[in-house]
Chains A and B, each alone.
Chain A
Amino acid sequence: ETGVTQSPTHLIKTRGQQVTLRCSSQSGHNTVSWYQQALGQGPQFIFQYYREEENGRGNFPPRFSGLQFPNYSSELNVNALELDDSALYLCASSLQRRDTQYFGPGTRLTVL
């Protein structure tokens, strides 16, 4: 059984650019959540998608947006990148919304 995968592994962007991060959920999982982990901090909830609909959002501005596709894979899009967006972005999937979330390896984003 394949676990949660994320791409790319690392990414370097400049301020003002846009970025798209991708996540493939574990087989059979219909819920995907995205988290941002800054250095020395715990992961912070960005938003959750359940059956292609946004199902809750954390304290992040609208320039953070997402999608979930019919196969339950997901994208995180960030527009107008700022230096503080530099972080590890983690995707987690769960069988159903209330089930345990399993994380991918993350995408390390650096904004210069």
Chain B
Amino acid sequence: DQQVKQNSPSLSVQEGRISILNCDYTNSMFDYFLWYKKYPAEGPTFLISISSIKDKNEDGRFTVFLNKSAKHLSLHIVPSQPGDSAVYFCAASGGYNSGGSNYKLTFGKGTLLTVNP
């Protein structure tokens, strides 16, 4: 049972335009969400995170939106650059706000973003 889903295996956008990557989750215990970027032959690189007490978090060109009622989050990249081309993983963790003890990350399968010059 996949608790974090990224339904689009790939996305292609033009340089300078907005990239929107989507992620859905099923586990209502998740209260902390992260996006990672991964280049081939490298480990995932942390991009941005959001706690369930917020609905938006922004860091430079990257903004993450969280819709708790829909159990949906999205990552917006504006403007997109060719160097953003990579696989993007959505990840979720539980217990962040409730003082749990295990902060394992549950990942989606990833979305391959290609930004064309």
Contact = CB atoms under 8 A, between A and B. Distances in A.
Contact of A102 (B46, B96, B100, B110): B46
Interface residues of B, number: 26
Contacts of B79: none
Given A103-B44, A105-B41, A106-B43, A58 B104 contact: yes
Given A48-B102, A55-B101, A98-B96, A90 B109 contact: no
Interface residues of A, number: 26
Interface in A32-59: 33, 35, 40-45, 48, 55-56, 58
Interface in B86-112: 89, 91, 95-96, 100-110
B107 A97 contact: no
Give the interface SS of chain B, mostly helix, strand, loop or mixed. Answer: loop
B115 interface: no
B73 interface: no
Contacts of B41: 105
B22 interface: no
Given A43-B89, A55-B101, 15 more contacts: A6-B43, A35-B107, A41-B109, A42-B89, A42-B109, A45-B104, A98-B95, A98-B100, A98-B103, A101-B103, A103-B36, A103-B44, A105-B42, A105-B43, A106-B43
23 contacts: A33-B104, A41-B109, A42-B89, A42-B91, A42-B107, A42-B109, A42-B110, A43-B89, A44-B107, A45-B104, A55-B101, A56-B102, A56-B104, A90-B43, A92-B43, A98-B32, A98-B95, A100-B46, A100-B49, A101-B103, A103-B36, A105-B43, A106-B42
